[in-house]
A = this chain, B = another copy of it.
Amino acid sequence: MAESTSMRLRLPLICIILEVILIILFGLLVEYNDDTHAKLWNANKTHSATRNDYENEFYYRYPSFQDVHVMIFVGFGFLMTFLQRYGFSSVGFNFLIAAFSLQWATLMQGFFHGLHHGKIHVGVTSMINADFCTGSVLISFGAVLGKTSPVQLLVMAIFEVTLFAINEFILVSLLGANDAGGSMTIHTFGAYFGLVVTRVLYRPNLDKSKHRNSSVYHSDLFAMIGTIYLWMFWPSFNSAITNYGDPQHRTAMNTYYSLAACTLATFAFSALVNPEGKLDMVHIQNAALAGGVAVGTAGEMMLTAFGSMIVGFLAGTISVLGYKYLTPVLESKLKIQDTCGIHNLHGMPGVLGAVVGAVTAALASPEEYGQGLQKVFGDVKTGDWDPQSKGGFQAISLAVTLGMALFGGLLTGFILKLPIYGAPPDTHCFEDGLYWEVPGEEEGHNELNEVATPNEMEKLSS
């Protein structure tokens, strides 16, 4: 008899314990920052009160935050609803682990980014950073989608958020790396972390659930909601925490052009690799986004629209080819079961983005950037500016990220392998009915019921 999959006690227990710990730690450690604190903000202001209130960072970061927020909850959540029978879990578990991760990330990032007299200061920038870290967890979720219980996902989030914060600290604070849009910290890290986790959790008998590991007509349309929102708001994502002024403006625009070129590459190669020339929804839903990933590091630099479009075109191309030719090999040879193909959307394009970032940084010159140089490369201020060594540090950052992801994924994978989380059996992967009250079925879904009858379900849950 298989392990029970009931969430009756497991899920409430972990949710309540985690939230209580979070609340206690927030009570001990978290304070309003200068822009959100009634006393500090108004004390810091000079004479002209009205004018100064308009300068609160809220007005320059919050619209970007909301766009990022939409990507995290609608973008990632709906992108994963493509599976025919896993929509509740996709959008629901995405919701749960994101809500947890953003709280936990606030603490971890606050701790590593620098305490103020032992306290973590929060405001809209910390909210964006927490959402970014959450994005990384959701990328990894894509690799294990359909094969994990919500308790496993929460445990994964605990570790991944922590390691994300450490990696981000090493890159940004120690190595002085540029990575505003997170090609390395978010995409490369999240992708390879998730791939290692799913490798450790390899299920040799997953084909027992194969018939559910595909889409139906309307589930593909729901997934397109996620795709389009990610695509539209990616310029906001990459530019959300750059410096004010030209860098933020430029980043958004570079991303816009990269994505547009990527989309044409995606349609081109999707038709080309299909024997009948038919487009594949999997490619459109995913590969068209690779252009956003691939300018996550270089987007704030003087990459130019021209450069952005080349990068985007390349990203779309390798992403489609990855779905077509690499993913099946990863599964059959390396035993990496990557449900959403995150290697193609976040892994390879993330590495590409890191490389593009290193090269673009190595080519940066005071002639080209003028006084804007130090707004992009903070090192200029400290007199440490040397484009080639900067490029080198960017490359080292990629290596560190890959190392952290592999090590972290391995560690986390083995922890998730413990038979205590109520993971789904091989026969019931990609199936909402295991963890959700599924409403009386439409006739169109009858064939699924035959696979998992209420009786079987009951046995599993008891």
Which A residues contact B (CB, under 8 angstroms)?
A: 6-12, 15-16, 18-19, 22-23, 26-27, 30-32, 35-43, 50-60, 62-63, 66-67, 69-70, 73-74, 77-78, 81, 84, 87-88, 91-92, 95-96, 99-100, 102-103, 122-124, 127, 150, 214-222, 224-225, 228-229, 231-233, 236, 243-250, 252-253, 256-257, 259-261, 263-265, 267-269, 271-272, 274-281, 284, 288, 302, 304-306, 309-310, 313, 368-373, 375-376, 435-447, 457-458, 461-462
Contacts and interface: CB of A to CB of B under 8 A. Distances in A.
A68 to B, nearest CB: 10
B102 A53 contact: no
B96 A264 contact: yes
Contact of A244 (B56, B236, B369): B56
Contact of A306 (B23, B69, B275, B437): B23
A371 B39 contact: yes
A59 to B, nearest CB: 6
Given A27-B306, A42-B375, A264-B100, A91 B221 contact: yes
Contacts of A442: 216-218, 444-445
A310 B263 CA distance: 42
A152 to B, nearest CB: 14
B444 A443 contact: yes
A48 to B, nearest CB: 11
Contact of A8 (B218, B231, B259, B277): B277
Contact of A264 (B19, B267, B371, B443): B19
Given A67-B66, A218-B218, A231-B73, A15 B268 contact: yes
Contact of A261 (B23, B35, B278): B23
Contact of A305 (B54, B122, B288): B122
The complex is assembled from copies of this chain, and their number is 3
Contact of A236 (B31, B66, B248): B66
Closest 3 CB pairs of A and B: A38-B372, A8-B277, A39-B370
Given A8-B275, A103-B257, 18 more contacts: A11-B267, A15-B264, A26-B304, A26-B309, A36-B250, A42-B375, A50-B244, A51-B55, A53-B244, A62-B63, A62-B249, A66-B236, A92-B284, A99-B264, A103-B260, A103-B261, A278-B437, A280-B436
Given A309-B23, A436-B279, A461-B276, A95 B30 contact: no
A26 to B, nearest CB: 5
B12 A272 contact: yes
Looking at chain A's contact residues, is the secondary structure mostly helix, strand, loop, or mixed? Answer: helix
A253 B122 contact: yes
A442 B288 CA distance: 27
Nearest to A432: B217
Contacts of A375: 38, 42
Contacts of A56: 244-246, 248-249
Nearest to A364: B38
26 contacts: A6-B277, A7-B278, A8-B277, A10-B277, A11-B268, A15-B264, A15-B268, A19-B264, A19-B265, A19-B309, A37-B302, A38-B247, A38-B250, A42-B246, A66-B236, A81-B221, A84-B439, A91-B228, A95-B228, A95-B284, A100-B260, A103-B260, A216-B439, A278-B436, A442-B444, A444-B445
